[in-house]
Amino acid sequence: QQQVKQSPQSLIVQKGGISIINCAYENTAFDYFPWYQQFPGKGPALLIAIRPDVSEKKEGRFTISFNKSAKQFSLHIMDSQPGDSATYFCAASIGNFGNEKLTFGTGTRLTIIP
């Protein structure tokens, strides 16, 4: 049972453009939604995270938009740069102690072209 669905599977964006990756979840008990960035041969690195009490969180060029009623959240990368080319994973977890395991989406391979 895939509890977090991620799209698109791959994405090509021109340098300077906006990259948008979407995720949808099923389990309404999820209350922590991080995004991870992974470069080839490296471990996932925490990029930005949001909790359902806010609808948007921005850190630099990265923004998470969260729609609790639709059970969807998305990552926006503004002014996309070639260095942003990586695989991005959304994830979700339940906040109570002992349930912090992350359920990941299937990943989006982002390529930024000059």
Per CB under 8 A, the list member of 22, 81, 106, 111 interacting with another protein is 106
What does the per-residue mask of binding to another protein show for 4-33, with x meaning CB under 8 A? ----------------------------x-
Element (H, E) at 46: strand 45-50
Q: Residue 2: how many CB atoms within 10 A of its CB?
A: 11
What number of chain residues touch another protein (CB under 8 A)?
A: 24
Please answer whether residues 98 and 88 qualify as being in contact, where contact means their C-beta atoms are separated by less than 8 angstroms.
no
The least distance separating another protein from the CB of residue 45, rounded to whole angstroms, comes to: 7
The least distance separating another protein from the CB of residue 18, rounded to whole angstroms, comes to: 25
Per CB under 8 A, the list member of 19, 63, 74, 93 interacting with another protein is 93
Q: If binding is defined by CB under 8 A, does position 48 make contact with another protein?
A: no
Place of tokens 């260095």: 83
* 36 Cβ neighbours under 8 A, 6+ residues apart: 44, 45, 46, 47, 88, 89, 90, 91, 104
**Which residues are near another protein by CB under 8 A?**
32, 34, 36, 42-46, 49, 89, 93, 95-107
